[in-house]
Structure 1
Amino acid sequence: MGRRTGWWRSRTVLTGVAALLTVVAPAGRATAADPPPPYRFAADAERIEGAARSTDAVRLTPGSAYRSTIRDDGKLYYELRLDETSSAYVSVTAVPEPGTKVVYSDGIKVSLQDPDGHKCFSGDAGAARFGATESPRPLTAWASRRAGPGTYTCKGAGTYSVLVERTSGSGSSAGDWQLELQYVSEPALRQAAPTAAPQVWDSASPQAPEGSARTRAGGTSFNEARSLEPGVWKDGIRAGQTLFYRVPVDWGQQFDASAELGPASGDGFLGNALVVSLHNPVRALVDDADTGYGGTRQRAALKPLPPVAYENRYAVDDQVGGMRFAGWYYLAVHLGAGMADRFGDGPFELTLRVGVRGAAGKAPAYGGATAPREVFEVTAGDRDAAASGNAATGGDGGASNENLAMKAVAVGGIGAGCVLVLGLAMWTVIARRRAAAAVAQGTGPGADGTAARTYGRPRGR
């Protein structure tokens, strides 16, 4: 009976170990991280359908995010209800599926129309195209209704329409694109402000930050952009991937940034490999830069930009006009999918040099609340996030889910190892007790003072 009891205990221990190992590494779950999605949409984004006619459009709420879908060469309408004094900004990020075939002219256009169907002027910022990289990635276009002095159209209150159009060239894929829409409302000022953009500002190319690079992994979208403070940062980027970062820039401060792609072995030259884009707090494109790549270190740097000022909105130049708010500024860095054919999938060494110059100035006196709140402010919490590296969604954001998954695998491996060691230790204790019990009963090895050649084999058999 004693031998059976020892065997039963041993089997019980092994069963427990197997169960624990199953908890640590469930069957069917990959031990390596799955590739991250091309874009992580806002967790609270409401799923809506765009309408084929403006009269059937769903109304958007200021401060909210939405998800939708647009087909090949599609046109979709959404609705806004605007007063006479608030400015409205609508951004649309289009996300093709990985592996989608896109050509130079493929992209999206966004425009606003007043109750009479007239388009509100928003310069050339209403269109975004894939351009020479011809590499699928998240594309963001925007449109606005600017209230206040100096505007000649779209000044009245009423029901406005947001029109989103997808443009497709011959040879591109016809699959659906996912959309993320964001609507930001800006109240009027309490007092009149200058209505002309500053004519004089320091437009000299800044000295790029130097020093040791610190590691921070970028996010996959505006919603999970990794927070940065001024300095030198390093990351890894794969062919076809887009990484997002964000930097707080206050009123009166100047922002500058560059992205460098490190050396790699391979063959050939890719004319448009690395693209870096800067978006302001309403996700409107401010500026972008790109560079080719032939295996040696290459750099793409943004043009010198003016200090953040409310009156920049009156500038003719889109780069100046984009620097009209304080708040989080976003860097989107894309590595062309064509890199894989010449230099492999990566990851490739990515270095960001980020500068914010000047002291924070006085904020304009808004006559009401923005939606979302504090979108045009730099708070103490924002500065803390930039210093610690928190992502837009909070937490360590550190990294992308790919890195988090690797951490989980590591933790799981440590846990599994501990469980296995514990199980083996228990097995050894039980085995020793079985041997001792057998000797005491005169049936085990060593009971006659000699050692048995086969462990656990009773004498006389």
Structure 2
Amino acid sequence: MWTVALPPAPDAQAVPRGTGYAFAPGAQSLVGAPDTAGARSLIPGRVYRSSLPAHGRFYYRLTLTARDDVYVPVTAVPPRGATVAATDGIRVSLQDADGNPCFYSSASFGAGLSPRPVTAVGQRDTGKSLCQSAAVYYLLVERLDAKNSDPDRWDLELAPATEPGLAATGGPTTPPRAWNSATPRPPDDAPRERRGGDGFGAARPLGQGVWRTRLAPGDTLFYKVPVDWGRQVHAGAELDATTSGHGYVGGALTLSLLNPARVPVDDVALGYTGTRRAAALAPLPPVDYTNRYAVPSGENAVRFAGDYYLVVHLGERVADSFGSGPFGVTLRVRVDGDAHAGPEYLGHSEPDGLFAVTARDRRAADTGDASGGDPAMRALAYGGLGAGTALLLALGAWTLLARRAQARVSAQKPMA
């Protein structure tokens, strides 16, 4: 017998006032705990919404197997207009029951001094020496803020995911040694307009080519680029010139790349004087399972296929020198290399299909339609609706179509 979950109350799905960030539809509200004793559980494959006060530190609980790698990205979303320092941000660590850290990372706002969504990830690699057993673990999320930073709470989005182990053992444990590290020539196609989404769950598909959009100061847009096993992704951004205002804004435009588990890969920021400026991400190796054994963090992060996220942010301080815009931004995306089959996993990821690229993904990258042309699939995406909610929507859509078909048949019947 099917058991389906009812959609959350409308308040739980609403975009929080003052942030502009679109939290995943159906994200479950979850309050962090000040200690491990009261920590609430996170289930991989689901998306959660929480918050963090000034100088706060909260715990969340996970029960992990000994087989799967685990990634717990935490995106902090400060209110628009908040006062932040360059070093403000969050630190995330995954710990065992004794408080020993498995992995930790941090994310900050940088030289732009502009509040924006930033992501740090707690992680457990089964190929490493720490935290290998099947046990209860704890995710600690800490807010890093300076003394005079904004005192308001920051919203959080948590999206735990798992990557299964390999079906066969004894494979390579070192990264590929040779890859083309030359900066590729950016595409020079005719630009196409494509507005990004307002969050990871709403990220707009993007393929190779030249893409145009417009941002007001403080805006952040999310895109996703399908990158298969064996392929290299490269991207750059350009900020248009303006005829109004004068001055210099450091870190005016930020372009970030994150992998399918939302692990940061690379980012670049450019200063702005009102003239056209461009910046590009560093070259990266082709996507390969063994990149996880590489030392540089960027190479280490291109460890699986799937949707790689491009996040572009225009700093709020641009308005002080050059007005409220909006400002034209050009994205140049290149995907090189020959795709090949990936490793044979022992099981599936949570959420399912996270580390794969389908024909539907490739169509969506060209058309911008996240469904790939299939209306029944529009709600199904990482960070989107849960399976129960999606099933209810699909059943409702099919019922409506059936009723319309029946109505057409009835209308065509001759009257007695």
1:355 aligns with 2:334: yes
- The within-5 A match list for 1:49-448 is 49-122=31-104, 126-148=105-127, 151-192=128-169, 193-265=171-243, 266-391=245-370, 394=378
Cα distance per residue 1:187-234 (max 9 Å; x no partner):
100112211111210000000000210000111111111111100000
Q: Please state whether the residue corresponding to 1:223 is helix, strand or coil.
A: helix
Cα distance per residue 1:72-95 (max 9 Å; x no partner):
010000011011111100000011
Q: Distance in 1 between matches of 2:121 and 2:101?
A: 13
Q: Which runs of 4+ in 1 moved over 3 A?
A: 391-395
Q: Please state whether the residue corresponding to 1:385 is helix, strand or coil.
A: helix
Whichever residue aligns with residue 356 of structure 1, its letter is V
Q: 1:44 aligns with which of 26, 49, 73?
A: 26
Instruction: Tell me how far 1:121 sits from its aligned partner.
Output: 3.0
The answer as to whether partners of 1:221 and 1:244 remain within 8 angstroms in 2 is yes
The answer as to whether partners of 1:312 and 1:320 remain within 8 angstroms in 2 is yes
Q: Distance in 2 between matches of 1:195 and 1:55?
A: 37
Q: Distance in 2 between matches of 1:178 and 1:383?
A: 32
Q: Distance in 1 between matches of 2:138 and 2:290?
A: 26
Instruction: Tell me how far 1:170 sits from its aligned partner.
Output: 2.0
Q: Please state whether the residue corresponding to 1:120 is helix, strand or coil.
A: strand
The answer as to whether partners of 2:19 and 2:77 remain within 8 angstroms in 1 is no
Q: Distance in 1 between matches of 2:164 and 2:191?
A: 40
The answer as to whether partners of 1:260 and 1:299 remain within 8 angstroms in 2 is yes
Q: Please state whether the residue corresponding to 2:362 is helix, strand or coil.
A: helix
Whichever residue aligns with residue 190 of structure 2, its letter is S
Q: Cα gap change, 1:185/1:357 in structure 2, threshold over 3 Å: closer, same or farther? A: same
Instruction: Tell me how far 1:36 sits from its aligned partner.
Output: 8.9
Whichever residue aligns with residue 127 of structure 1, its letter is S
Whichever residue aligns with residue 254 of structure 2, its letter is V
Cα distance per residue 1:237-285 (max 9 Å; x no partner):
1111111111000000000000000110221111221110000001010
Match of 1:423 in 2: none
The answer as to whether partners of 1:38 and 1:95 remain within 8 angstroms in 2 is no
The alignment's C-alpha RMSD in Å is: 1.5
Name the structure with the higher helix share: 1
Structure 1, unmatched stretches of 5+, are: 1-34, 396-461
Structure-1-length-normalised TM-score: 0.76
The answer as to whether partners of 1:281 and 1:326 remain within 8 angstroms in 2 is yes
Name the structure with the higher strand share: 2
The answer as to whether partners of 1:274 and 1:300 remain within 8 angstroms in 2 is no
Q: Please state whether the residue corresponding to 1:103 is helix, strand or coil.
A: coil
Match of 1:444 in 2: none
Whichever residue aligns with residue 57 of structure 1, its letter is A
Whichever residue aligns with residue 338 of structure 2, its letter is A
Q: Cα gap change, 1:36/1:236 in structure 2, threshold over 3 Å: closer, same or farther? A: farther
Whichever residue aligns with residue 49 of structure 1, its letter is V
Q: Distance in 2 between matches of 1:121 and 1:40?
A: 28
Q: Distance in 2 between matches of 1:186 and 1:272?
A: 34
Match of 2:8 in 1: none
Q: Distance in 2 between matches of 1:121 and 1:36?
A: 32
Whichever residue aligns with residue 52 of structure 2, its letter is I
The answer as to whether partners of 1:102 and 1:173 remain within 8 angstroms in 2 is yes
